[in-house]
Amino acid sequence: MARGRLIAVMALAVVAASCKSVPACPVQTRTDPAKALAEHVGRQQGWRSLKAEARVTQWADRGRIRGTVLMFLERPGSVRFDVMTQLGPAAVLTTDGESFQLSDLRENVFVQGPTCPRNIARLLGIEVDAENVLRLLTGDTPLIEISEQRMECLDGNYVVSISARDGSTQDIEFSVDDRDRDQPAAAQRLTLRKSSVWAGNKELQWEATYDDYTTVDGQAFPTNIRFVDRVHGADTQVRVKSISLNPEVPPDAFHQVPSPGMAFELATCP
C-alpha cells in the first residue's frame, strides 16, 4: 500500500513539473481594442530615425543564410540595409519609399526599380512594403483593414482580434507589465508580442513575434524579431545587437548609384 501511495505521489509530481504556469489576467481587464491599438501607436512615435546592427538568419528553399546587417531606418518608409561579411559589404539595399536600389557586390549587379514588396524580399526574404518592414523591425505591426475588432485576455495576455470585409483576420497579442496586473485597466502598460494574419480560408499567411525588449532613450524595442511568411516560404529572424536613435541622416543614405563596371538589371513590380 505504501509503495502504491509513493508511486501515485511521484506521478503527480511529474505531472505538476510538466505543467507550465501562466500569468493570471489582470484584476481589471481591458476591453477596448481601439484604445489599446492607439496607445501602442502612440508609444511608437518618440523617434524619427534609427541605426542598428543585427544578426540576421533566413531559412528558405535555398537553405539557411546568416549574416550581419547594418540597418538605417527613417520614417515613414526609408530603409537601408548593408549586408556585411568579414571581407566587407556583400550587398546594399536602399529605398526612400518610392525608388529601390540593390547592389549585389558578390555578383557585381546593380538592380533598380520601384519599391514594392517583391523587391524588398530580394534581400530580406520579407515580402512587405518598406514602411511595414520598418514597423516589423522596430516593434510595430502591419494591420489589415479593420471592419470589426474585439479584445480579450487569454492566458495572462491581451489579444486584439481584427476582422476585415474580405474574410481575413488578424490577432495581435500584448503582454502586460507584471507591475500593472493589479492596476486599473487604463493604467496597464502593454507590450507587443505577436501578430498573426489568416486569409479568408483560415490559412495562416504570416506571423511575427517580438521578444527580448530593450529601452533606448525611453523607447522600447524588441531585440529578437522573427517573421514567418507562409505564402512565400520565408522565415527570417533578426537579433539586434545595438540601436541608436535619431542619428544625423546623410543626404544619400537611402539612394544608390551603380559602381563602374556593374551590370544593370531593371526590377519590376507585379
Cell numbers linked to 54: 543585427
Closest to 244 in 3D by CA, of 98, 81, 91, 73: 73
Q: In whole angstroms, what is the distance from residue 205 CA to residue 175 CA? A: 23
For the chain, which domains are there?
24-266 (2.50.20.10)
Instruction: Give the pLDDT of residue 150.
Output: 97
Task: List pLDDT tens digits, range 67-121.
Answer: 899 999 999 999 999 999 877 889 999 999 999 999 999 899 999 999 999 888 8
Q: In whole angstroms, what is the distance from residue 198 CA to residue 20 CA? A: 27
Instruction: Give the pLDDT of residue 60.
Output: 67
How many CB atoms within 10 Å of residue 134?
21
Which amino acid does the sequence have at 180?
D
Higher per-residue confidence, 67 vs 5:
67
Closest to 131 in 3D by CA, of 117, 121, 118, 144: 117
Q: Which residues contact 32 (CB under 8 A, 6 or more apart)?
A: 151
* Kind and range of the H or E run holding 49: strand 49-60
192: β partners: 174
Instruction: Give the pLDDT of residue 22.
Output: 66
Task: List pLDDT tens digits, range 207-244.
Answer: 999 999 999 999 999 999 999 999 888 899 999 999 99
| Contact yes or no for 227/136 (Cβ under 8 A) | yes
Which amino acid does the sequence have at 233?
G
52: β partners: 71, 243
**For the whole model, what pTM was predicted?**
0.86
CA-angle at 183, arms to 180 and 189, nearest 5°: 40
Which amino acid does the sequence have at 9?
V
Cell numbers linked to 130: 518598406
63: β partners: 60
Q: 62 falls in which pLDDT band (50, 70, 90)?
A: low
Q: In whole angstroms, what is the distance from residue 210 CA to residue 194 CA? A: 6
**Pairing between strand 157-163 and 169-176?**
antiparallel
**Pairing between strand 99-104 and 88-95?**
antiparallel
CA gyration radius, the chain: 22
